[in-house]
Amino acid sequence: MDTMPNASTEAGPVVVWVDDDPDVLFAARMALAPLQARVWTANHPRELQALLAEHPADVVVLDLNFSRGATDGAEGFACLSELLQADPSLPVVVASAYGDVERAVEAMRRGAVDFVTKPWTEQRLLATLRSALRLRASHRRAAAESARLSVLTGAPERAGSDLLGESAPMQRLRELLARAAPTDANVLLLGENGTGKELAARELHRLSRRAARPFVSIDVGALSANLIDSELFGHKRGAFTDARSDRIGRLQAAEGGTVFLDEIANLPLSLQPKLLTVLEQRCVVPVGGNAATPIDVRVIAATNQPRERLLDESSFRRDLLYRLNTIEIELPPLRERRDDIVALAQHYLRAYERKYDRPPKPLPDAVAAALRAGAWPGNVRALRHAAERAVVLNTGEAYGTDDFALGAAAVPSPPAASAETTAPPAAAAGSMNLQQAERQLIEQALRRHQFNIALAARELGLSRGALYRRMEKHGL
């Protein structure tokens, strides 16, 4: 076992290469120098456990045969299985001698991400390893996002569902998710902003046979039109300005797992045929590329738009809709599950008390009743933000109605857009108070677009994040 990494690469990614031929290992170390990686080598799979314990790998390159005369790849397959059992997201690239593509393809069926043949070309080897390292980085981002979401829901160590509430609508929702999850059928989640569509998607993934593989969330509404193609499908070097290297898309990064396409109604018409082709043929073609790469992913999509808009072929292709909504599940708004409101509020209060190191405080019955009576047009997300506000601002012995900005929670549900709702409010026209005018303009944009955050942000000339910050500032 070689324990000396390449020089001057102490901060780079870690590549572990397993091969019984010392010449191959030496050549690999030289060939991988452009990666600026720490390359560790082993002569046999039995050395791997100790090596990986000391140097956790970002990617493993694995030969298939180690015993003299062996050609069936059994040793490599067994090692591959052990590696993926220990870390299902670890990219393993198979190094196959003599152009034995059949064995390499079998290894990919068993979980390897790619293969290189010996002797290799340096360009092909580097491209394969860079792709594997990007895949590893994508998996880590997805895991970090999952951990962040767990912290925000107050259950960082909980192995069960993050969907909270015991009301009848929530019990029906859980039943539908449990029935749909074990299949590979595409699912379309419908519901207003803040109803927990991403949590429902994660629950589908958690209960599926893909639970050990990546969950990759893509907010289609947050991507600029000129980046969506590259983000979803990847790109080849030189495909456009600043495309200095090949990059895999998020669909390919979710290999074996689940892709969640949030705000799917905002996917440009020009890209809808390409996504339809991916769903039909289960392969992707990167921007600037010609070869199709097979993928194995389950697609869950979500939108806050009414079903009628999805049926309008001027904005959304009917054939794509039929591919996405094999199973269609609608999430109930918070006003239809009032029995859950107080329990949710108490859950988030406890979570933010821990987060901000504040002592637990009681929620008086009168305040609980006021919370239950609110319209909550922003649904669970709005309730969560209200609870955070209460924890941060409260200075008394118990929480009060003022702590939750219940005036905003009591705003009636947004009506359908009309001439009256699109006209500027009189107060905004006559007021010289900047804060008041900003709040009223934001309210107007939200109502005009029926609380679609992406469309409202676009009209206001803001990013989604900036609009969320302003909504929180104004108690919206």
DSSP letters spanning 78-146: HHHHHHHHH-TT--EEEEEETT-HHHHHHHHHTT--EEEEESPPHHHHHHHHHHHHHHHHHHHHHHHHH
**Largest Cα–Cα distance in the chain?**
88
Average pLDDT over residues 313-331: 90
Per-residue confidence band for 409, with pLDDT thresholds at 50, 70 and 90: low
Average pLDDT over residues 306-312: 84
**pLDDT higher than threshold 70 for residue 261:** yes
Tens of pLDDT, residues 277-297: 888 888 888 877 777 788 889
**CATH entry 1.10.8.60 includes domain 334-409:** yes
Distance of CA 446 to the CA centre of its chain: 25
Distance of CA 452 to the CA centre of its chain: 20
The confidence score (pLDDT) of residue 241 equals 65
CA-based angle 302:186:303, to the nearest 5?
A: 10
419-473 topology per CATH: Arc Repressor Mutant, subunit A (1.10.10)
Distance of CA 467 to the CA centre of its chain: 21
Tens of pLDDT, residues 354-367: 999 999 999 999 99
How crowded is residue 43: how many other Cβ atoms within 10 Å of its Cβ?
A: 16
Tens of pLDDT, residues 171-204: 999 999 999 999 888 999 999 988 999 999 999 9
Per-residue confidence band for 415, with pLDDT thresholds at 50, 70 and 90: very low
Dist CA 109 CA 95 (whole Å): 15
Per-residue confidence band for 259, with pLDDT thresholds at 50, 70 and 90: very high
**CATH entry 3.40.640.10 includes domain 166-330:** no
Tens of pLDDT, residues 102-147: 777 788 878 888 888 888 888 888 988 988 888 888 777 766 655 5
What is the share, in percent, of the chain residues with pLDDT greater than 70? 83
Dist CA 161 CA 204 (whole Å): 10
14-137 topology per CATH: Rossmann fold (3.40.50)
**pLDDT higher than threshold 60 for residue 26:** yes
